[in-house]
Amino acid sequence: MVGERKGVDTRSVTGHSRYRAVLLMGAPGSGKGTQGGILGQIPGFYHFAMGDALRVINIRSDLGKIFYEYTSRGELVPDDVVIKFWAKNLDAHATLGDFKPDDDLLILDGIPRTVNQARVLQQHIQVQRIIHLVCRDENAMFERLRRRALKENRADDADEKVIRRRMKVYEDATRPVLEFYSKDIVAEVESVGSPARVLSQILTVLAPLQDQHFSGKLE
């Protein structure tokens, strides 16, 4: 499967070569994390948030130091580091069994964040839909990030200069990822309104995917 372990056929862990996946995309503060967290509670979805996975790394480890060096400035962690960590991490979840590739649709939040990451990920995932959360109100996004800084103690949300840098990095490096995929699979969802309202729009797009999968299993 996704890991690159020397001498081990990692495919044998799950028997999968490419996971069925949905990408959650949107600028910082667009509500990806909130929606991903809710979706992850629904049977048949497995939510993987790259930022959350990176944040739990011990900050004193070599990887933790690299992570901190980039995120504290609002920059992206280098692609090779992120992809390797992502693959190993997901592999571990599939082995532990909380992620069940046969049953679960993988909801990826925060990866891919560059076109190069998208290209490499093609070997590992089969992207079925992209949910593009759109928030045209920059003030609302800043406000969300400020609230999150207080609630989750995130240094990268507390500093306005760092937030601005992350917005710019999103525009320059991450938005082009949307063009890497076919337009037909991209669904734009306005991320204004209550989480329930936004969720209902997302589920309108994703529920049919799950219906197909479940009915396929019953046949």
Binder of ligand ADP out of 21, 22, 39, 54 (CB under 6 A): 54
- Closer residue to ligand ADP (CB): 76 or 107: 76
Q: Quote the least distance from Cβ 219 to ligand ADP, whole Å.
A: 37
| Residue 51 CA to its chain's centroid (Å) | 8
| Residue 189 CA to its chain's centroid (Å) | 16
Q: Quote the least distance from Cβ 31 to ligand ADP, whole Å.
A: 9
- Examine residue 76 and tell whether it contacts ligand ADP (CB under 6 A): yes
Contact 50, 86 (CB under 8 A): yes
* Contact partners, residue 41, CB within 8 Å, separation at least 6: none
Gyration radius of the chain over CA positions = 17
- Closer residue to ligand ADP (CB): 74 or 101: 74
Contact 198, 189 (CB under 8 A): yes
- Closer residue to ligand ADP (CB): 169 or 206: 169
Q: Quote the least distance from Cβ 143 to ligand ADP, whole Å.
A: 14
- Examine residue 50 and tell whether it contacts ligand ADP (CB under 6 A): yes
* Contact partners, residue 211, CB within 8 Å, separation at least 6: none
Distances (CA, A) of 58 to 65, 66, 68, 78, 115: 8, 11, 10, 18, 28
Q: Quote the least distance from Cβ 15 to ligand ADP, whole Å.
A: 26
Name which of residues 158 to 197 contact ligand ADP (CB under 6 A).
Answer: 166
x/- mask, ligand ADP, residues 96-115, rule CB under 6 A, reads --------------xx-x--
Instruction: Please give the Cα distance from 118 to 124 (Å, whole number).
Output: 10
Contact footprint for ligand ADP (CB under 6 A): 28, 32-33, 50-51, 54, 70-71, 74-77, 82, 110-111, 113, 117, 156, 166
